Amino acid sequence: MILYYAVGGGMGHLTRAKALIEHFQVPLESVKVLTASPFAQSCFPDLPILPLPSHLAQNPEFYQVWLQQQFRKYNFEQVWVDSFPCGILGELQAFADANLQWAYFARILQWENYKGIWQKTLPFEKVYLLETLEKAHQNFLESHYSKNLENLHFEYSRKNVSCIFDENDWLIVHSEPETEVCELLAYAYEQAEMENQKPRFCVISPISKLDTSLIYTHFHLQEAHHYFEQAGRVISACGFNVMKQMQPYQEKHHFLPFPRRFDNQFLRAKLAFTKN
């Protein structure tokens, strides 16, 4: 049994969890995805979710007890850790000596902000590098896991969907927070005005009612990337998943990085410009 650690804000960790579980062809009955995301059940109904009670984030001792209970209940043999090498709060360090197989999936992490959490090295047998990392993060991994590093390339599953968008549609794709969804929508309006265009502004987000006077059409779609090909333009932030999903459509991708405590969307945006 695998515990996939996908704790973090937004839907990015869950989107990546789904893609990696499919990439490694893990039977869904053999994995539990740990998350505190309020969107988990509604946006990822097929994922075997292990919901993390939100109040535990404020009670580290109870959180440890709860985690221990889950390990006993499900008899986990492997732990796959997304993004945070010892957990977002450092909570996984308590299990470093347990009889478990560990794997780490590394995306960009602001090491300067995270390194104070790390105190104990987890025995990762595999460290999968999902993108170019910050140098300090890369150096940490090379110093502790030099023989276990592996670049991992994976794709997001594609399915045939109804054609609900066309070239006149601009998709604004973002889960949360609402202020950032509004900022991306305003950015799209600015582009349209500068280019003298009149597209339909289509917001794809779990948030249906935005605090804005701008006119838009809302869509609540579980996996937005299936529709990117249909639209004339896609406006997004610079999270890992959307930047990777938009690689085949770079010519119509417009993006804004937002500040994050642990992610570095500005570095990811810079790397995207460099590649282009």
For the chain, state the CA radius of gyration. 19
Tokens of 55: 């109040």
Q: What is residue 276's predicted lDDT score, i.e. its pLDDT? A: 63
More confident residue, 10 or 106: 106
pLDDT tier, 8 (very low <50, low <70, confident <90, very high otherwise): confident
> What is residue 75's predicted lDDT score, i.e. its pLDDT?
97
Residue-wise pLDDT tens digits, 132-157: 999 999 999 999 999 999 999 999 99
What is the percentage of the chain residues whose pLDDT exceeds 70? Answer: 100
Say how far apart CA 53 and CA 252 lie, in whole Å.
Answer: 39
Q: What is the mean pLDDT of the chain?
A: 94
* Structural domains of the chain in order of their starting residue, each with its CATH number: 2-151 (3.40.50.11930), 169-275 (3.40.50)
pLDDT digits (tens, 9 = 90+) for 196-209: 999 999 999 999 89
Stretch 228-235: mean pLDDT, rounded? 98
> Rounded to whole angstroms, how far apart are CA atoms 184 and 167?
19
Least confident range from 36-45, 163-172, 205-214, 242-251: namely 36-45
